[in-house]
């Protein structure tokens, strides 16, 4: 049991930023907006979170700064795609490059500086239970927040009127507009929520996963989060399974490198991304599932009648 505890903790830690970023993107895409700027929002969230926590010595302020950093980039994306009706794919790619460059510029003064880190929550008695104690009752605040958000997003999308409106806007924005729903407002709020989650995911990397700042520390996780949304068929429950799967693959790559398996380290490092490609190929063969759950207006711009 002691040998199993370490791998499980590592898998949860590796999967949490993917889960957070993918959850925000799922809500964004449910509204009909395709935001490819997740990587850039994560990078800005990571540097803002680390800078705020390092300067104030308060990790919780770092969490808030990470959320705000991601939302600022998301606001720019929403302004371009929803306000000025620019191409969503091109704008998302441009903001990814912008976010990576901006984070490197802001974080230049923090390279090599140790961070305060996020303390673990300890529950007397429960945290000492073998195996399950540290896994369920001794995690950091952001991990618990990620799992709570999964439940909250599922409930919102499938059990509330607001979630019904969100899905209606994503499936047929013309009909939703005809019924009197504010399509642009709904989509803008969804984009901001996606930015907040992406920034939170970046903050998790710099405050929990590796409490320090290094340029490009997101390492392509934003792109994996985008693939996770497709893997989950836009369903929050399947998103958890996908995040844990990719977390396990990341752990496997680190484990094989640690025991000195005779496989080039470059190949092991590319395992999570190779898995992403394989999963997307497999999922794309189930056309019925994708057709049922894919928002019909995903990536399509909307201009209200004037």
pLDDT for 81 = 96
Contact between 153 and 29 under an 8 Å Cβ cutoff? The reply is no
pTM: 0.93
pLDDT for 105 = 94
Buried b (16+ CB within 10 A) or exposed e, 192-225: bbbbbbbbbbbbbbbbbbebbbbeebbeebbbbb
pLDDT for 305 = 73
112: left (phi over 0), alpha (psi -120 to 50) or beta: left
- Report the number of distinct structural domains present in the chain: 1
Among 56-60, 112-116, 196-200, 254-258, which range has the highest average pLDDT? 196-200
Residue 299 placed within a domain = no
Contact between 153 and 251 under an 8 Å Cβ cutoff? The reply is no
Q: The domain that contains 138 carries what CATH number?
A: 1.10.3470
More confident residue, 91 or 280: 91
| pLDDT band per the 50, 70, 90 thresholds, residue 135 | confident
Question: Domain span at residue 189?
Answer: 2-293
Residue 306 placed within a domain = no
Average pLDDT over residues 95-115: 92
> Residue 150 pLDDT > 60, yes or no?
yes
Residue 305 placed within a domain = no
Over the stretch 49-95, which tens digit does the pLDDT of each residue have? 999 999 998 999 999 999 999 999 999 999 999 999 999 999 999 99
Q: Report the chain's terminal Cα–Cα distance, integer Å.
A: 65
Residue 262 C-beta-side C-alpha neighbours within 13 Å: 0
Average pLDDT over residues 11-35: 95
Residue 183 placed within a domain = yes
Counting residues of the chain whose pLDDT is more than 90, the rounded percentage is 64
Residue 214 placed within a domain = yes
> Residue 99 pLDDT > 80, yes or no?
yes
Nearest to 269 by CA among 254, 281, 279, 284: 254
More confident residue, 54 or 252: 54
Residue 302 placed within a domain = no
How far apart CA 192 and CA 187 sit, in angstroms, is 9
Residue 300 placed within a domain = no
Residue 253 placed within a domain = yes
| Mean pLDDT over the full length of the chain | 90
| pLDDT band per the 50, 70, 90 thresholds, residue 1 | low
pLDDT for 306 = 52
pLDDT for 299 = 92
């Amino acid at each position: 049991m002691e040998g199993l505890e370490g791998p499980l903790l590592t898998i949860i830690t590796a999967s949490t930023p993917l889960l957070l970023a993918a959850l925000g993107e799922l809500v964004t895409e449910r509204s009909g907006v395709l935001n490819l700027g997740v990587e850039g929002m994560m990078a800005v969230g990571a540097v803002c979170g680390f800078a705020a926590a390092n300067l104030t010595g308060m990790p919780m302020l770092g969490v808030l700064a990470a959320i705000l950093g991601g939302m600022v980039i998301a606001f720019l994306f929403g302004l371009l795609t929803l306000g000025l009706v620019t191409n969503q794919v091109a704008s998302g790619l441009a903001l990814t490059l912008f976010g990576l460059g901006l984070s490197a510029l802001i974080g230049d003064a923090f390279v090599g500086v140790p961070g305060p880190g996020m303390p673990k929550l300890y529950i007397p008695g429960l945290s000492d239970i073998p195996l399950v104690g540290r896994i369920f009752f001794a995690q950091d605040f952001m991990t618990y927040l990620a799992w709570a958000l999964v439940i909250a997003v599922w409930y919102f999308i499938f059990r509330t009127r607001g979630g019904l409106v969100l899905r209606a806007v994503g499936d047929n924005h013309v009909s939703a507009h005809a019924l009197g729903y504010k399509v642009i407002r709904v989509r803008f709020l969804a984009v901001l929520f996606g930015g907040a989650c992406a920034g939170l995911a970046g903050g998790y990397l710099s405050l929990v996963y590796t409490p320090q700042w290094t340029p490009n520390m997101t390492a392509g996780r934003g792109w994996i989060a985008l693939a996770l949304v497709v893997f989950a068929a836009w369903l929050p429950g399947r998103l958890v399974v996908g995040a844990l799967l990719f977390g396990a693959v990341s752990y496997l790559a680190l484990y094989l490198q640690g025991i000195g398996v005779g496989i080039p380290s470059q190949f092991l490092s590319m395992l999570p991304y190779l898995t992403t490609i394989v999963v997307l190929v497999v999922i794309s063969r189930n056309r019925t599932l994708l057709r049922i759950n894919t928002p019909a207006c995903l990536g399509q711009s909307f201009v209200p009648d004037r």
